[in-house]
Amino acid sequence: MSRNQDTRRDGLEGPPPEERQRPVGRRNGQGIRVDPEVEADHEPRRTTISAYVADEPGVLASVSGLFHRRQFNIESLTVGPTQNDGYSRITLVVEEPDPGIDQAKKQLRKLLPVVHVRELDADPVACELVILKIDGDEPDKVQAITEMYNGETLDAGPETITVQITGDEGKIDDALDAYAQFGIREIARTGQAALARGATETARVDETHT
């Protein structure tokens, strides 16, 4: 580092970029080293993440704010109380490449009220609820479909019929398709609630919090 009084130039001296040594490797846009020959960007996949959280004011805002801020693609979010007073379970369905899912879990865990986070296996026990209001012109046909999907009629009048269907996402999508022919006026859908299958714990409930 010295002052060079003789030369008048813009910038510094040294070999220009094209004369320098070059590395052989390359990374992809996610910072993962790849074989220069193969394109290896991760494909997004859909998964369910369950978070066990302290029931503090603002916790839902923190979680949704986090997902928005970090551009994690979120398909649904549900929240509800658990068997332990003061703690809730948040179920998130996200669609992201593996590194994004990993980040989402870790960033979620960093929020102070979040006690535990787990990604559920490919086949969790998952369920959602939909309520739909259908044109009442063909009550018998509507009733037949409701029975087919083990649904329930909540309200029926001369103009509209309101039914509820519960089940996994695929079943609800199918039911919606089936009702479409009668004219669906309104839909309210909850998004997924989920638990891990079998005896596997969904999210560890720490001793200090039970």
Footprint on this chain of another protein (rule: CB under 8 A) = 1-17, 20-33, 54, 57-58, 61-62, 65, 69, 99, 102-103, 106-107, 109-110, 112, 114-115, 206, 208-209
Q: Cβ of residue 115: shortest distance to another protein, in angstroms? A: 5
| 120 closest CA partner among 182, 200, 189 | 200
Residue nearer to another protein on the CB measure, 102 or 123: 102
What are the C-alpha distances in Å from 5 to residues 8, 12, 14, 66, 112?
Answer: 8, 13, 18, 54, 57
Q: Cβ of residue 201: shortest distance to another protein, in angstroms? A: 17
Q: Cβ of residue 51: shortest distance to another protein, in angstroms? A: 12
Residue nearer to another protein on the CB measure, 14 or 198: 14
Q: Cβ of residue 70: shortest distance to another protein, in angstroms? A: 10
β-bridge mates for residue 20, sequence order? none
Residue nearer to another protein on the CB measure, 25 or 170: 25
Token pair, residue 103, equals 């980040």
- Given a contact cutoff of 8 angstroms between Cβ atoms, the answer to whether 58 and 114 are in contact is no
Helices 139-148 and 169-180 pack at an angle, to 10 degrees, of 160
- Given a contact cutoff of 8 angstroms between Cβ atoms, the answer to whether 119 and 48 are in contact is yes
Residue nearer to another protein on the CB measure, 112 or 144: 112
Q: Which helix (H) or strand (E) holds 135?
A: strand 125-135
Name residue 89's amino acid: R
Q: Cβ of residue 75: shortest distance to another protein, in angstroms? A: 22
Residue nearer to another protein on the CB measure, 83 or 208: 208
